[in-house]
């Protein structure tokens, strides 16, 4: 199971918690593309006493079956990309809580986001979740969001009547754009929002196709991701969507051979791989300028082609996960790796 091992150290975005959320009960047609089952699976039910039209619906999630008997009506999203997937699907009226953002939500979702209660600055406690009375909890980083030691294990939540779903990035052997598409389709199917899900997928596909055409004939650039740097470099390995973003943006991740989403690597190894560009992940309280200074002050990293030629790129960490930003993330990184490329 892959998840960022330093997720809990990120600085969340905070804002005042609004009052009671609006609750609008919405019915929707079932998911023809996914399996309907007569009994709840290990993910529990959507809290409905009887099946709605077209339901139950079951989706596969990392070896689990997540079943709902009706479109969830009181959902909580934990982590940035889970929240943005819900908002992109137009499901804000089904949300009774959100928590733990690394960045501001995308501008097009800000107005909808403001009406959703923030249950906690980081992860809510089990008691805080119960108080929101959710029937569905969606986690972007299930390894930390569904932490048994913190009382938020999936068995405990499901025992309290909540269906649970975790991002597919946690378990995919290779995280690609197809992983993102399936994530969007899964959530759309559970909520009866399949049409909107297909629109989102189509938009991302078009964005990626446009970048591919623009980069035709360019040579790939060797890229080192720097999330943070100290005695080691905390970087992006080959198991997460970050690797796919770099490749589609006309780069080669110098640590694509590391079978982790994120990993600590030695300064020596990072230097030996001679990156031509360093891609800094931007988030939290440490500005990118400080990360650049740390790289430039290091006696080994300062000798890499990237530093000698001051070839740097920047990507918000919230864009380097399996969520709705992936198309724009690829375009953003491509512009920085290949400025002026037009195919």
Q: For position 52, what pLDDT does the model report?
A: 77
Instruction: Measure the N-to-C terminal CA separation of the chain; round to a whole number of Å.
Output: 38
pTM of the model: 0.83
Whole-angstrom distance, CA of residue 212 vs CA of residue 219? 12
**Which tens digit of pLDDT belongs to each residue from 160-202?**
999 999 999 888 778 899 999 999 999 999 999 999 999 999 9
Question: pLDDT confidence of 314, banded at 50, 70, 90?
Answer: very high
Helix (H) or strand (E) holding 213: helix 194-214
> pLDDT: is 285 or 258 the higher one?
258
Residue 320 has pLDDT above 50, yes or no: yes
Q: At 66, list the tokens.
A: 């997540």
**Which tens digit of pLDDT belongs to each residue from 204-257?**
999 999 999 999 999 999 999 999 999 999 999 998 899 999 999 999 999 999
Whole-angstrom distance, CA of residue 64 vs CA of residue 78? 19
Q: For position 284, what pLDDT does the model report?
A: 83
Question: pLDDT confidence of 343, banded at 50, 70, 90?
Answer: low
Lowest mean pLDDT among 42-51, 228-237, 246-255, 299-308: 42-51
The domains of the chain, with CATH numbers, are 7-203 (3.40.50.1980), 218-337 (3.40.50.1980)
**Are the beta carbons of 324 and 80 closer than 8 angstroms?**
no
Q: For position 50, what pLDDT does the model report?
A: 55
Question: pLDDT confidence of 340, banded at 50, 70, 90?
Answer: confident
Q: For position 47, what pLDDT does the model report?
A: 41
């Amino acid at each position: 199971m892959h998840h960022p091992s330093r997720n809990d150290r990120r600085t969340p975005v905070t804002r005042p918690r609004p009052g009671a959320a609006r609750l609008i009960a919405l019915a929707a047609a079932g998911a023809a593309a996914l399996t309907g089952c007569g009994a709840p699976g290990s993910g529990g039910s959507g809290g409905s006493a009887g099946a709605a039209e077209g339901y139950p619906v079951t989706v596969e999630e990392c070896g689990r079956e997540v079943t709902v008997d009706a479109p969830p009506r009181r959902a909580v999203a934990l982590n940035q990309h889970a929240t943005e997937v819900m908002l992109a699907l137009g499901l804000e009226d089904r949300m009774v809580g959100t928590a733990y953002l690394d960045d501001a939500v995308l501008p097009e979702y800000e107005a909808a986001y403001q009406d959703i209660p923030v249950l906690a600055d980081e992860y809510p406690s089990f008691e805080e979740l119960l108080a929101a009375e959710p029937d569905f909890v969606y986690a972007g980083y299930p390894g930390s969001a569904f932490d048994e030691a913190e009382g938020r294990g999936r068995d405990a939540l499901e025992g309290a009547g909540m269906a649970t779903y975790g991002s597919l990035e946690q378990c995919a052997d290779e995280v690609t754009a197809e992983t993102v598409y399936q994530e969007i389709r899964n959530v759309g199917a559970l909520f009866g929002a399949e049409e909107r899900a297909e629109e989102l997928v189509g938009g991302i596909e078009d964005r990626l196709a446009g970048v591919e055409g623009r980069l035709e004939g360019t040579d790939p650039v060797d890229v080192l991701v720097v999330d943070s740097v100290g005695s080691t470099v905390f970087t992006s390995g080959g198991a997460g969507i970050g690797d796919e973003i770099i490749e589609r943006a006309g780069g080669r991740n110098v640590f694509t051979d590391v079978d982790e989403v994120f990993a600590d690597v030695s300064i020596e190894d990072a230097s030996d791989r001679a990156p031509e560009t360093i891609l800094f992940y931007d988030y939290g309280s440490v500005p990118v300028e400080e990360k650049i200074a740390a790289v430039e002050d290091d006696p080994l990293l300062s000798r890499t082609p990237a530093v000698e030629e001051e070839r740097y790129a920047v990507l918000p960490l919230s864009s380097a996960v399996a969520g709705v930003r992936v198309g724009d993330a690829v375009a953003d990184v491509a512009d920085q790796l290949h400025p002026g490329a037009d195919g």
